[in-house]
Amino acid sequence: MFKTIADPADCKVRSVIRFLNANNVKQVEMHRQLVEIYGENVVTDGMVRKWVRQFNDGNTNGHDQARSGRPSVVNGGLVAKVDEKIRENRRFTIRMLCDEFPQISKTVLHENVTNRLNYRKR
């Protein structure tokens, strides 16, 4: 019996799918072999079909495409302004800062005050 490989990188699994596809192995057999080597939770049968379809369409890259995420509104200058407001009034609340900086959500503001500026509740 084969030794199971734990936690393979996605791109490595996709490379194996590409290799097996080039050897004209059926998709069901690909999935069976992947599960046999990498374990039960490696990839679903549907994902094998998706990647085989992409490889057949000419995509030779086994990596995910880069996605544009939501751009961050918080930059170094804005964090410096938040720090300046906090130093003006040390008895601040996150709600007060939200009123001063409406472009930043309450959650992101709290995260920046606690993690980047290292202020703690006393």
**Residue 40 confidence (pLDDT):** 83
Distance of CA 24 to the CA centre of its chain: 32
**Residue 9 confidence (pLDDT):** 81
Residue 88 zone, left/alpha/beta (φ > 0; ψ -120 to 50; rest):
alpha
**Residue 10 confidence (pLDDT):** 84
**Residue 84 confidence (pLDDT):** 93
**Residue 1 confidence (pLDDT):** 55
By CB atoms closer than 10 A (0-12, 13-18, 19+), residue 83 is middle
**Residue 38 confidence (pLDDT):** 87
Give the chain's residues under pLDDT 50.
Answer: none
Under a CB-based contact definition with an 8 Å cutoff, are residues 69 and 61 in contact? Answer: no
Q: Which two tokens stand for residue 68?
A: 């544009």
**Residue 74 confidence (pLDDT):** 81
Q: If DSSP codes are grouped into helix, strand and coil, which group holds residue 101?
A: coil
